[in-house]
Amino acid sequence: MDNLHSGDLTIEVAEGPDAVFRCTWKGKSNERNPPEILKPWFEKLLAAAGAKLGSIEMHFDKIEHFNSSTITALIRLIQNCRKTNIKLVMVYDQTLKWQRLSFDALRVFEKNDDLFHLRFA
Amino acid sequence: MSANADDLGFSIDMTVRNEWRNVDLLRTSVQNCFTAVFADVDGCHAIAMVTGELLENALKYGDWVSGDRAMFRLRVHRSSSSIVEVSVQNPLKESDVNAMNLLKAIEEISSYPKPEQAYRARMLQIAQSEEDTSPSRLGLVRIAFEGNCRIAAKIENGTVTVTAALDLT
């Protein structure tokens, strides 16, 4: 699985023990249409994690900014992970108010199925 | 641009080319300017986020075809009160579907007792909708929720001005 480099955004991916695909977001997600770039990369990531019966961790604590279109792409990712039974964890910096607001709101997608969780860095 | 540290006033008013890269240039400039003047880092980030979302909407949904000027106007103003106003003006006809969608989106946000409820409802709508069928319009409701803003829009003479008033208290 290759890292994603697009404009000001980098997502570094590393496969850890138990096939946990750790994805670290860096820079800024400020493209006009982020889903156009993120969707195909997410599809490859889901395929790689699914093939190894693994899970995905998205780490946002190092990202500087993302626009609302990026949030839309993340909502789609949550849905797609759930559909394919791949566990997804999003990790954020709760000491930053903007991250706390953005990610706490995503708790609306947490269910009792253990497939989506939010965690502090 | 002018700033008065004595009364914590601040004002930016500029006309800018409608190029996508200018969104981030302006967003980060506004953030850096406010950070230089005020100590409230969270507040500065909120002002910058609101600026970025309003600019993105202007470039995505403005009428850049029939107008003769490919420019938009950004104004950021803070008087001595705790309210910061960010407004973006761009070409858009009243009859344009994007104008109607804009007014409808603002009305919908206002229909919720709290912006947080409007934001969560919009996220759930996005999750339940088909992918890429229509614009997500998450930006406006993010402004209301994360920016703790009141949003208003005025459409006249072929231009729209969207104003977000942030309460930094």
Domain ranges of chain B: 2-167
- Predicted local confidence at residue B67, as pLDDT: 67
CATH number for the domain spanning A99: value is 3.30.750.24
- Predicted local confidence at residue A68, as pLDDT: 97
Is the CB of residue A80 less than 8 Å away from at least one CB of chain B?
A: no
Q: Under an 8 A CB cutoff, do B138 and A28 touch?
A: no
Name which of A35, A96, A106 is nearest B132 (Cβ-Cβ). Answer: A35
Domains in chain A: how many in total? Answer: 1
Q: Which domain holds residue A76?
A: 4-120
Q: Which residue in A43, A68, A115 has the most chain B C-beta atoms within 10 A of its own C-beta, making it the best mutation to test that interface?
A: A68
Portion 37-56 of A in contact with B at CB < 8 A: none
Q: Transcribe B38-82 into DSSP letters.
A: -S-HHHHHHHHHHHHHHHHHHHHHS-TTT-S--EEEEEEEE-SSS
How many of the other CB atoms lie within 10 Å of CB of A32?
15
Residue A93 tokens read as: 């910096």
Name which of B52, B116, B145 is nearest A67 (Cβ-Cβ). Answer: B52
For residue A71, the chain B residue with the least C-alpha distance is B138
What is the helix (H) or strand (E) element at residue A84, kind and residue range? Answer: none
Is B2-167 CATH 3.40.50.150? Answer: no
Instruction: Chunk chain B into consecutive blocks of 10 residues (it has 169) and report each block's average pLDDT, rounded to whole numbers.
Output: 59 95 97 88 95 97 84 90 93 93 96 97 92 78 97 96 92
Give the contacts of B122 (CB within 8 A, at least 6 positions apart).
Answer: B136, B137, B138, B141
Residues A46 and A78 sit within 8 Å (Cβ to Cβ): no
Residues A35 and A72 sit within 8 Å (Cβ to Cβ): yes
For residue B60, the chain A residue with the least C-alpha distance is A32
Query: Rounded to 10 degrees, what is the CA torsion of A78, A80, A83, A84?
Result: -110
Residue B157 tokens read as: 């003479």
- Predicted local confidence at residue B78, as pLDDT: 87
CA pair distance B108, B141, nearest whole angstrom: 9
* Structure ipTM over 0.90, yes or no: yes
Q: The dihedral of CA A78, B117, A68, A15: what is its sign?
A: negative
Q: How far does A106 lie from chain B, in Å, by closest CA?
A: 8
A41, amino acid identity:
W
- Predicted local confidence at residue A104, as pLDDT: 97
Q: How far does A17 lie from chain B, in Å, by closest CA?
A: 31
Q: How far does B97 lie from chain A, in Å, by closest CA?
A: 20
Q: Which residue in A33, A75, A82 has the most chain B C-beta atoms within 10 A of its own C-beta, making it the best mutation to test that interface?
A: A75
- Predicted local confidence at residue B132, as pLDDT: 65
Give the contacts of B151 (CB within 8 A, at least 6 positions apart).
Answer: B106, B109, B140, B143, B144, B162, B163, B164, B165
pLDDT, one tens digit per residue, over A17-76 is 999 999 999 999 999 999 999 999 999 999 999 999 999 999 999 999 999 999 999 999
Is the CB of residue A101 less than 8 Å away from at least one CB of chain B?
A: yes
CA pair distance A54, B161, nearest whole angstrom: 48
CA pair distance B121, B125, nearest whole angstrom: 6
CA pair distance B102, B161, nearest whole angstrom: 11
- Is B22 exposed, middle or buried, given 0-12, 13-18 or 19+ CB atoms closer than 10 A? middle
Spell out a b/e string for A38-73, using b for 16 or more CB atoms within 10 Å of the CB, else e: bbebbeebbebbeeeebbbbbbbeebebbbbbbbbb
CA pair distance B9, A40, nearest whole angstrom: 46
pLDDT, one tens digit per residue, over B123-144 is 999 999 876 666 778 999 999 9
Is the CB of residue A102 less than 8 Å away from at least one CB of chain B?
A: yes
For residue A29, the chain B residue with the least C-alpha distance is B24
- Predicted local confidence at residue B133, as pLDDT: 60
pTM: 0.95
